Structure 1
């Protein structure tokens, strides 16, 4: 009996040890998963002390709610002392550029923002730069291209040649404008030109406010053309030729932010699965075209393949540099 009791006690002790090991392993796994989820979702906060955040905006700009939320969270984080905004983008949708511009402006109202431009920072890519306290570009950077474009194909001639006709019922004469199945009417053209002009006026006002320039001066520069960094410097569209090194020196001299302060990336949001993202982008693009009759403009230097690889669907008017 004593032997059986000893065996039972040993078995209980072993089970107790295994239980604690299992609890510890589960806790460790949970901690790793939480950390991975935080990193994957774009959350900053790995650097515990005072630091700068670096926001990279590459490629075509579209609506990105998670990125806007990250910027706002960084603005409210007392450990974040400023932002380095690195731009290499030809622009994108007007609404996407405007929302990103406004988020950066909210951050800039609390903490300093400096911009470094890569090969191109044009149209909406320039729009998002103007709230910054200081803008740097290289001599060869292409920037500016202040303007808005809305394009719609007219396939009515082609459809007529192949014997296809389309009946279209609309609630009003301007509801079906623009349409891919019939030419744009004079009234529709005037209406859409008014939309483009209003969006352009908003763009000009953003530049005038951010760059502290007279609005008439901005309009004189805003004929849609791009400028090199060297030209933009002379026109007042940027502040200096340089990159992140020069931006850090400026922050140290003018905002008392040491050059040795750590910089943490403001990570992009966790992406969807490849197939799910592609299907969602395709459905979004086709749905928008079917509902509005308008297709987004794509510059000749930016192919559909590039936009597909980025999972980008642009809707409506765009502010995009066309080479």
Structure 2
């Protein structure tokens, strides 16, 4: 790495440390205006303590607005594209913001974490029971498993001609790495308070009793998923279980089986929302994280290198996900 790059990185570290110190120590009562202004500017520069912002997709009346909630990428805390806190905050805004007259879930996800999916689902059901506004779902390239789960919050669901959807079900995957450890000379050890404490360990073969424990959890999560589809599509439980063998469906198959209402693109769904709800002049918007102003200070040659720590952390999280058992509403083909 060149000397110039090291200088820029050192400057970044100084700013980050300064920011950390400003959070550790309380502001003194006699802090000067200039010091306070400097702290506020530094936090603004680094995107610290800033609320989520609104991004306007289509201009229109601020008194009548259509809220778009994008669900992008693998659902989960460690996802680089799915911001769970942003989703939760966006849902909470519906409760307080009377200007929101309709909601559209924009789905492009193979699903993911069971916990995150259900937490957002339950909060949205609670909020929408209070507001009673129309809810739509627009599927993109893929809206499978947890993505389909999100779609069940909508009154009307639309796929595109090339959408992959379905994959209704729960999956747990992991690895038994015992033979690999033997080959490379690694001898794992564990001290435990009970025989199930290392349930799902990759260092040994799983016992029959352990398999039954996981299967019971998966069956319960699957039963909840089935009920979500029963409620969301007004279908019988028997029919849902026939469709919920984990397979994916094309948009045409999904429509024929009653899993979606029709085949439309996002822009057509927006037009439909306007038409069906007398929202011709409505503004279309979404909530988003504030722009990273700090990145703009880096020269062009640093653009691809200013995020090494985050990228490395994502790699480590992905390795951890692959090794440890994961129970998810996710289509495995959508990794």
Whole-angstrom CA distance in 1 between matches of 2:289 and 2:146: 18
Alignment partner of 2:284 out of 263, 274, 282: 263
DSSP 3-state at the match of 1:213: coil
Task: Using the TM superposition, give the Cα deviation of residue 66 of structure 1 relative to its aligned residue in structure 2, in angstroms.
Answer: 3.1
Whole-angstrom CA distance in 2 between matches of 1:166 and 1:97: 34
Task: Using the TM superposition, give the Cα deviation of residue 283 of structure 1 relative to its aligned residue in structure 2, in angstroms.
Answer: 6.1
Whole-angstrom CA distance in 1 between matches of 2:86 and 2:282: 26
| TM-score, structure 1 as length reference | 0.73
CA shift in 2, pair 1:78/1:228, >3 Å: same
DSSP 3-state at the match of 2:172: coil
Task: Using the TM superposition, give the Cα deviation of residue 204 of structure 1 relative to its aligned residue in structure 2, in angstroms.
Answer: 1.0
Report the RMSD for the aligned CA atoms in angstroms: 3.3
Alignment partner of 1:56 out of 70, 84, 91: 70
Report whether the alignment pairs 1:168 with 2:190.
yes
What pairs up with 1:175-214 in 2 under 5 angstroms? 175-214=197-236
CA shift in 2, pair 1:218/1:274, >3 Å: same
Deviations 1:259-312 (A, max 9, x none): 3311012224667983453455456567x67xxx9525xxxxxxxxxxxxxxxx
CA shift in 2, pair 1:155/1:102, >3 Å: same
The higher-RCO structure (CA 8 Å, 6+ apart) is 2
Residue 324 of structure 2 is matched in structure 1 by 295
| TM-score, structure 2 as length reference | 0.71
What pairs up with 1:140-151 in 2 under 5 angstroms? 140-151=162-173
CA shift in 2, pair 1:268/1:118, >3 Å: farther
What pairs up with 1:215-226 in 2 under 5 angstroms? 215-226=237-248
Highest CA radius of gyration, 1 or 2? 1
Asked if structure 1 preserves the Cα contact closer than 8 Å seen for 2:62 and 2:282, the reply is: no
| Structure with greater proportional strand content | 2
Whole-angstrom CA distance in 2 between matches of 1:38 and 1:53: 25
CA shift in 2, pair 1:57/1:268, >3 Å: farther
Deviations 1:135-162 (A, max 9, x none): 1111221101001111121111122233
Residue 137 of structure 1 is matched in structure 2 by 159
CA shift in 2, pair 1:72/1:136, >3 Å: same
Unpaired runs of at least 5, structure 2 = 1-32, 78-83, 295-305
Residue 81 of structure 1 is matched in structure 2 by 101
DSSP 3-state at the match of 1:150: strand
DSSP 3-state at the match of 1:71: helix
CA shift in 2, pair 1:171/1:240, >3 Å: same
Matched residue pairs, number? 273
Asked if structure 1 preserves the Cα contact closer than 8 Å seen for 2:54 and 2:285, the reply is: yes
Residue 157 of structure 1 is matched in structure 2 by 179
